[in-house]
Amino acid sequence: MIARHVADTVTLNNGIEMPWFGLGVYKAQAGAEVEQAIQYALDAGYRHIDTAALYANEESVGAAIKASGIPRESIFVTTKVWNTDQGYDSTLQAFETSLRKLDMEYVDLYLVHWPIKGKYKDTWRALEQIYKDGRAKAIGVSNFNIHHLNDLMMDSEIVPSVNQVEYHPFLTQEDLHEFCKQHNIQLEAWSPLMRGDLNHPTLVELANKYGKTVAQIVLRWDLQNEVITIPKSVHQARIIENAQIFDFELSSEDMRLISSLNRNHRYGPDPDTF
């Protein structure tokens, strides 16, 4: 199913509805910058915000959502447990801290930010507890490769609902995507815009062909690949631009052309060596 509207959702493996499209707020400054970005996004119809304890802006995310007057339950909020808080008890504590900063009674999705060796299974047990307590509507992981997922699922009760990984035309992660599909784990793209590196000639050519921007082409490619996407911007014009991807369709030939740009290039750390 391809989303037709900025707030359209996919049903996760536990029945929870998660919008295909959202706003990322990594490196958006706490305070006015992130609050304004969220206001622009909500005005443009976004109903999904992706933050993390690491981003040090959870308080502002919570404040902006409250200030919008939009009911809490209409907005999907993700946050993540940071690496130094991993382990069972420390994750439970980190979750309380995140909830307090967000000033919310629950989050929609709580993620293990990175697969910290020797710790992620204990961290996951804590997420399972949080989920059973109803304080996260869904739980998932981030930056997990196939071997991390296999290892985790061998010793856990709940299959992650989501795996949020670096994903864009230069890093298509096809094996991982296929594995996630087989296990009903929804793939979500971080750094979908290659952190703003949008000058590849093939992408520029496609942008001209469709009368769209490169950012829009790449985000549309995510949706047609059934990958959730959370581009970050703090600028109103770009926040609006990034959401204008529901009024055109890439041909299957152009979808393949974009995928063929893959060169396993990462802008962020590699989960196996970070």
Ligand X SMILES: NC(=O)c1ccc[n+]([C@@H]2O[C@H](COP(=O)([O-])OP(=O)(O)OC[C@H]3O[C@@H](n4cnc5c(N)ncnc54)[C@H](OP(=O)(O)O)[C@@H]3O)[C@@H](O)[C@H]2O)c1
Residues forming contacts to ligand X in the complex (CB under 6 A) are 24-26, 50, 113, 142-143, 164, 190-196, 198, 213, 215, 230-235, 238, 241-242, 268
- Beta carbon nearer to ligand X, 169 or 231: 231
* Residues catalogued as catalytic: 55
Contact 135, 102 (CB under 8 A): no
Least separation in angstroms between residue 181's CB and ligand X is: 20
Least separation in angstroms between residue 215's CB and ligand X is: 3
Euclidean distance between CA atoms 153 and 253, whole angstroms: 36
Least separation in angstroms between residue 22's CB and ligand X is: 8
- Beta carbon nearer to ligand X, 9 or 142: 142
- Beta carbon nearer to ligand X, 123 or 164: 164
Edge-first strand listing for the sheet containing 76-81: 23-24, 48-50, 76-81, 107-112, 136-142, 162-166, 186-190, 228-229
Largest CA distance in the chain: 53
Closest CA to 64 of 95, 112, 27, 101: 101
**Alpha carbon distance, N-terminus to C-terminus of the chain:** 34
- Beta carbon nearer to ligand X, 52 or 126: 52
Least separation in angstroms between residue 151's CB and ligand X is: 19
